Amino acid sequence: MKAYKGTFKKKNGENREMVFARIWDLPEPFLKKHVQGAGSESKYPEGMELVWDLEADSFRIFNWKTIEGKAKHFDIDSALFEV
Q: 39-53 pLDDT, tens per residue?
A: 556 788 899 999 999
Distance linking the first and last C-alpha atoms of the chain: 15
Check: CB of residue 74 under 8 Å from CB of residue 23.
no
Q: 60-72 pLDDT, tens per residue?
A: 999 999 999 999 9
Banded pLDDT at 82 (limits 50, 70, 90): low
Q: Is the pTM of this model over 0.85?
A: no
Q: What residue segments make up the domains of the chain, in order of their start?
A: 2-81
> Could you tell me the sign of the dihedral formed by the alpha carbons of 48, 68, 18, 5, in that order?
positive
